[in-house]
Structure 1
């Protein structure tokens, strides 16, 4: 059975703006884990207290600042500095993963060159956090709806980068929503990425709502995910169309049945 981690930047807004209060609401709803976007704007000591008080674990947080590697003057220093700061926050909160991306592409260079540059960037990034116990997970995102202009929109290319970095502290974040919107063959992508997927997020498509609000066959997709060998947590990164407590019921039932 998969452990589900609702995103506290999207779910349990009924509890208020405080990340700490949303953690408590998730615990009250029966969850043992949560995920979040970046730490900026959050009261980290209060969040830490809420996690310790409830016993919930934080499964993932975003790297900040958001990556824009390919845009001149291509100064990567702010990213590396932010990553080191983010790693300290992650250690404080007991978070084992930091989510990273590709930023936007630069049209004057071949795509392959840009992917190879990502390998160089993330090889250095893993060296910076070596020994911390934190894993960087690279997320490809869809460019058709949510992230126009992003460089990395294919799961296979994230796999290529992960293989190039070749580190136990680096892997792929497979987001079923983004993959579906891009029209990928989910079973094929999961098979190709087997062993490199270090985290999974879900939302239904179209609409990016809760599972059951769109057209994804969740029974089939969870079976494919299980067949791929993935046994880690699943982040619930969706925009609920109903109350948070109601929106999680369908996926909780399906996961419990596995």
Structure 2
């Protein structure tokens, strides 16, 4: 079975604050959760009471599988200032360690029309090679997420799984990999089996939502038993983040995927 991690930015909001959402996820039968940025410097994430979240995780025994890097940085846009990312990275790692979280999600930012795409991808390799060196020994894995540009993230540089894999192989660190988001991949028209076969062991985390619509599994057109079968066949056996916008009450929205994940 797959371990599912509801995103507490989007799910169990009925419970109240973030620490209460952790408890609600535990009450609904989950053993893990994920979240966006811990300090809330980037909208739509909001600031978290880190000690309270830590206490809720310890109380329930839930694992925090992933958090977002802060702040969002436009690496490719002039004046090409990478310092906000590097300056905040150590703080993000310290928070992740405090919360027992082993992954930090990173991105590419907006692509720059004044530079060749290959040059920008190679720049990402350099940036994340340096970032991996900066946090060496922390036990934290950075996972690079390609996102769709057709619906949710117009202008983003990294919209293809294969290009994220190219960057991950260029960084060549066991503490750096790819976040494969089935929703983003599907919206971009990719074939998951092909992309996962190419990605191999660079995939260090997975997120899901249904498509179209980015609702809970069962609200779109994805064949979920088949999708989980493809994921299992690829060799991925880590946690799966539930990063979707529920169309009903949270505990109701997770029932289908809970049942399917228990059999996958």
Q: Please, what TM-score do these two structures have when normalized by structure 1?
A: 0.99
Check if 1:181 corresponds to 2:187: yes
Partner of 1:77: 83
SS at match of 2:90: helix
Partner of 1:249: 255
SS at match of 1:105: coil
In structure 2, what is the Cα distance between the partners aligned to 1:252 and 1:77? 41
In structure 1, what is the Cα distance between the partners aligned to 2:73 and 2:176? 16
Residues 134-143 or 67-76, more deviating? 67-76
In structure 2, what is the Cα distance between the partners aligned to 1:207 and 1:245? 19
In structure 2, what is the Cα distance between the partners aligned to 1:24 and 1:81? 32
1:108-187 residue pairs with structure 2 within 5 A?
108-187=114-193
Check the 8 A contact 2:107/2:146 in 1, yes or no. Answer: yes
Check if 1:23 corresponds to 2:16: no
The C-alpha deviation readout for 1:86-145, integer Å capped at 9, x for no partner, is 000000000000000000011111000000000000000000110000000000000000
Partner of 2:220: 214
1:187-226 residue pairs with structure 2 within 5 A?
187-226=193-232
Deviation beyond 6 Å, 4+ runs, structure 1: none
Partner of 1:8: 8
In structure 1, what is the Cα distance between the partners aligned to 2:2 and 2:235? 12
Partner of 2:37: 38
In structure 1, what is the Cα distance between the partners aligned to 2:258 and 2:20? 22
| Cα deviation, residue 83, structure 1 | 1.2
Check the 8 A contact 2:3/2:238 in 1, yes or no. Answer: yes
What residue ranges of structure 1 are gaps of 5+ in the alignment?
none
| Cα deviation, residue 67, structure 1 | 2.4
Check the 8 A contact 1:8/1:22 in 2, yes or no. Answer: yes
In structure 2, what is the Cα distance between the partners aligned to 1:154 and 1:83? 25
Q: Please, what TM-score do these two structures have when normalized by structure 2?
A: 0.97
What do you get for the CA RMSD once the two structures are aligned?
0.5
Partner of 2:100: 94
Check the 8 A contact 2:73/2:84 in 1, yes or no. Answer: no
Partner of 2:44: none
In structure 1, what is the Cα distance between the partners aligned to 2:77 and 2:144? 19
Give the length in aligned residue pairs. Answer: 257
